[in-house]
Amino acid sequence: MSLAQPEPGPPPWRLLLGYVAPHRWSLLTGALLSLVTGATGLLLPLVARELIDDLSHDRAITGALLLMSALVVANAALGALGSYVLRRTAESVVLGARRALSSYLLRLRIPAVDRSEPGDLMARITSDTTLLREVTTDSLVGLGTGGLTLVATVVMMGFVDPVLLAVTLAVVLAAGTVLGVIVPRINRASRQAQDAVGVMGASLERVLGALRTVKASGAEHREEVTLHAAAEESWRQSVRAAKWSAAAGNTAGLAMQSAFITVLAVGGARVATDAIDIGTLVAFLLYVFYLMAPIQQVVGAITQYQTGAAALTRIQEALALPAEDRAPAAPLPVPETAPAAVAFHDVRFRYADDLPYVHHGVSFAVPPRGMTAFVGPSGAGKTTVFSLIERFYDPGSGVITLDGRDVAEWELARLRASIGYVEQDAPVLSGSLRDNLLLGNPDTDGDALARVVKTTRLDGLVARLPDGLDTLVGHRGTRLSGGERQRVAIARALLRRPRLLLLDEATSQLDAVNEAALRDTVADVARATTVLVVAHRLSTVTMADRIVVMDAGRVRAVGTHRELVAADPLYAELAATQFLASAD
């Protein structure tokens, strides 16, 4: 699954260097340790040649043996330290990418979220970033240290016998041509495998988010088929990538074996004709043996990079989605407490370029203080009014003002700090009830919290819960009823001490007693705050100071309940059917 990307981003290797840059020193240290490890290994054949020489001339071999032992121990110790440093650095690169991505995803603009699958975005943060670990150690370091060791080994081989080196290189180059065909296939398969993991994440999120509905609809089997199809696609593509990776690895292995045999044959002939001595041939064969590791490392680096490049591209696609400016870490102190004035001036809006307009020139003005109710048939565009005030979306044309100033000119965090928003489906985040209430204003003191808990009639619920305010709610905690969730959402919004309260009233969530109590609370709030409410109940509209009647993306009429019943036929009909049906 691909996210829409406006223009091609930088190549994956540049992205990789960007992630690695903050850790360049530890990466260099690790790489250096690996190099020194390789160098100690490279000295061994020379010492071996000395040892054979000493033996054939009846000289003592203790010194050579001691040197060899020291080199072997140093090789092991430095190798372990180097791989630890590299692994740690790679984990830090993964951490950096995860931090960057999660911060970015929290700032995504709502239209970008509307068009993305949350499960796929999650896969990008979790599984794609994990792939950066291997790409950092295996690819970047592998290519660096493997490449350098390769060059050093080749130089040493040239030093020992240039003819045998030419033979070795001819075999290795033949294998390189085959690898050129294989490597791009690994990239394609890896990208498809990661995309399939994204699709699976999206399907899982869809099912787990509505598991009750899936069960109640008896749709488990159909959903299972979709999930399995995504899992199988990931398997298929990963197996394809594995097939090509294995082919690449074995091509390198085969090349080395062939080089070994060829060197043995040609070298044997050279020893027979006295062109070289036996010690030189043994030393050269040891170098061929040593060449194997850096070649495998370089081939591994190239194949691993193909997988990493696919992941890097997916990460970059997420980072190219439109996002809001970074919000300050601490909640902004609300600069003013005066109630806000809101106005829409000829606002036209649609959710996406390929969707019809939802607002066709909406205009209204709400003075500070008091309650304004928005009513109208389902789909008229009432909730959209709130989304635009919060700047979840920007209008296509027209202007929305808060205190007479275009909301587009407000610093976003300051704008939202002025507003308390109670959504229609009032989500509860998993965590304690206290966390949920203090989400928008964690510094609230205990007295203020207790007051709001009481006014929103949550005190009974708190008394009933086993750990009171610290009881876990939401996922893996106590499930709250629809009405309780709504009261929590109202309390959360009030604790933000908003200058403008947006209340998207859900139908039939509250029982009569709680509804009456909350009506009084909201009426109280409206004395000092501007309250806008999408109203579905007669009790709400009758107490509103003004009612805005919306129909099909336009404002039909504005007035009080009494005025509108007399003047507006649609409102009169709504009052007679929709509102009366839920009146107390």
Q: Which residues bind ligand ATP (CB under 6 A)?
A: 114, 351, 355, 358, 376, 378-384, 534
Q: How far is the CB of 504 from ligand ATP (least distance, A)?
A: 7
Q: 138 and 90 in contact (C-beta within 8 Å)?
A: no
What is the spatial distance between Cα 17 and Cα 26, in angstroms, rounded to a whole number?
14
Q: Residue 155 or residue 583: which is nearer to ligand ATP going by CB?
A: 583
Residue 206 Cβ vs ligand ATP, minimum distance, rounded to whole Å:
16
Which class for 552: exposed (0-12), middle (13-18), buried (19 or more C-beta within 10 A)? middle
Q: Smallest gap, in angstroms, from Cβ of residue 355 to ligand ATP? A: 6
Task: Assign 385 to helix, strand or coil.
Answer: helix
- Could you tell me which of 239, 232, 227, 233 has the C-alpha nearest to residue 201? 227
Angular region, 426: left φ>0, alpha ψ -120 to 50, beta rest: left
The order of strands in the sheet holding 342-349 is 359-366, 342-349, 397-402, 405-406
In three-state secondary structure terms, 502 is strand
CB of 133 or CB of 391, closer to ligand ATP: 391
- Token pair of 436 as six digits: 């949920």
Shortest distance (Å) from residue 345 CB to ligand ATP = 18
Closer residue to ligand ATP in complex, CB, 425/524: 425
In the complex, the smallest distance separating the C-beta of residue 356 from ligand ATP, rounded to whole angstroms, is 8
Pairing of β 500-504 and β 530-534? parallel
Instruction: State which residue, 289 or 357, has the beta carbon closest to ligand ATP.
Output: 357
The least distance separating ligand ATP from the CB of residue 578, rounded to whole angstroms, comes to 10
Token pair 């796929």 is found at 120
Nearer to ligand ATP among residue 22 and residue 379 (C-beta): 379
Shortest distance (Å) from residue 479 CB to ligand ATP: 24
Give strand pairing partners of 421: 502
> Which residues, including other chains, have CB under 8 Å from residue 69's CB and lie 6 or more apart?
none
Write the DSSP assignment of 47-116 as a string of letters: HHHHHHHHHHTT---HHHHHHHHHHHHHHHHHHHHHHHHHHHHHHHHHHHHHHHHHHHHHTB-HHHHHTS
Q: Which is nearer to ligand ATP, 273 or 378 (CB)?
A: 378
The distance of closest approach from Cβ of residue 457 to ligand ATP in the complex, given in angstroms and rounded to an integer, is 24
Report the residue number, 13 or 351, with the smaller CB distance to ligand ATP.
Answer: 351
When the beta carbons of 240 and 554 are compared against ligand ATP, the nearer one is: 554
Least Å distance, CB 352 to ligand ATP, is: 7
Closer residue to ligand ATP (CB): 284 or 579: 579
Would you say 49 or 537 has its CB closer to ligand ATP?
A: 537
CB of 536 to ligand ATP, least distance (A): 7
Q: In the numeric block, which tokens belong to residue 383? A: 């909730």
Q: How far is the C-alpha of 575 from the C-alpha of 562, rounded, in Å?
A: 10
Q: How far apart are CA 398 and CA 124, in angstroms?
A: 37
What gap in Å lies between CA 28 and CA 9, rounded to an integer?
A: 27
